Structure 1
Amino acid sequence: MPARAANPTHRLIPAPAGRIHLVEQGTGPMVLLVHGFPESWYSWRHQLPALAAAGYRAVAVDVRGYGRSSRPGDVAAYRMRELVADNVAVVRALGEESAAVVGHDWGAGIAAHSALLEPEVFRAVGMLSVPYTPPGGPRPTEAFARMGGDDEFYVSYFQRPGRAEAEIEPDVRGWLAGLYAALSADTMPAPGAPDPHFVGRGGTMRERFPGGRLPAWLGEEDLDVYAGEFERTGLTGALNRYRNMDRDWEDLTDLHGAPVTQPSLFAGGRKDASTMWLSDAIDAYPATLPGLTSCHLLDDCGHWVQQERPAEVNRILTDWLGALPS
């Protein structure tokens, strides 16, 4: 049994973004943890001590544009190849040759592309909530524009700089609380209610968020952490990831249709729209993730899987990591 892990340590390291803020805990093989939108390193607060106690060096980053990491002003600085370069820089700056990489939401895509682009550095990849789909297919903004009928898909809503910021930034805490509740199993809108992933004509996202209580996984102090970071940084850096989907589609033409061949893991919530809409992508895993060794759909779980079900996700991760080739 590994010794009790030391407390987590915050560090700033040089990276192509300028600097990356990270939190690390434990010693042993490195596991790089990459968050999604709209979160931060803090979304891995339950996994850091669990992975450290299991004998791993757990490292959770603030993706560029978030928290204490750099926030470049150029929208194109948030393209996928740049984010992968940040991940490589973190591994190298910490003196490691390789790492397993695990991501949630947008972080799942960043993790998968890290494995695709830098297979010598990222020896295994775990994806939470958002299933892997190989690069390619139709141009993303054109595909999203066809979704929703008279309503507008949230990814399309995020495309124009300043538009979503104008909705969110006057009340960051309230908007985050609403989004977290909208996508959590215990507080999401009832079946048949307007879908919070879509925006009505001339409307806002928050009009479809549920009111009232916070989801069970989110305490007031947790919400304070998330809101405090975004109140300080604004949302533009985080939203710029969505504004690069067409650039990524063009940048990654050499990888269109490419499988991830490293040992891989997927875990998602059965009540998460991501797993329901992309069920065909999960069915395609024998071809797209030929190295898949662990796949889990958690009952009564929404989008924020490692926060809604921390103990179960910790067990899934440590079992998967423990079975990887040394």
Structure 2
Amino acid sequence: MVDKVEHSYLETRGLSLHIAHVGKGELGAVLFIHGFPEIWYSWRHQMNAVAKAGFKAIAPDLRSYGLSTQPSETEKTTWEDLVADLLAILNFLSISKEPGRAEADFGRFDVKRLIRTIYILFSRCEIPIAEEGQEIMDLADPSTPLPQWFTEEDLNAYVAPYEKSGFHFPLQMPYRTLYRGTGIADPKIEVPVLLIMGEKD
């Protein structure tokens, strides 16, 4: 049912960006980003399903695609430009900048309980998966003992500094900046490297 979809245009940085959106967004927003050679229309079915589930579904035509205009120097467009366009769209649609899901989930607990819970949950062979409407931190029973290899003394060594500094920055760095450019052209490791990782990691 594409007829429910609204269409808006945002004038930003010399461009006119076309935005398709539907839903009230009681549960938040979902941003759909198309690839080549697609346009917002690629997401029409998913948008209606997401809106029906209580989210605001947003699907722009990226610059130079569909009904959005082209920058004067297309060849100079960077990933940072595309991200800036998306942020401008979210601002235009008044999408709130609340903390991410991890920050909201972790922020409910004091530092000691948070670190204890992380080591209890993620030291198992099978990592638990939260169901819809659940948060990962709710899956741990606070009375579960720490793993044998992680003592109360170890726990306190982690807790003490975070009780002073808090978790706000560590939750965002490097997790939130994982793909930010380093400015290093063609980085190459010149020494032998061995990567070992568990199959269920």
TM-score normalised to structure 1 length: 0.30
**Greater Cα radius of gyration, structure 1 or 2:** 2
TM (norm. structure 2) is 0.47
Determine which structure has the larger helix proportion and give its number: 1
Structure having the higher strand fraction is 1
> RCO (CA 8 Å, sep 6+): is it higher in 1 or 2?
1
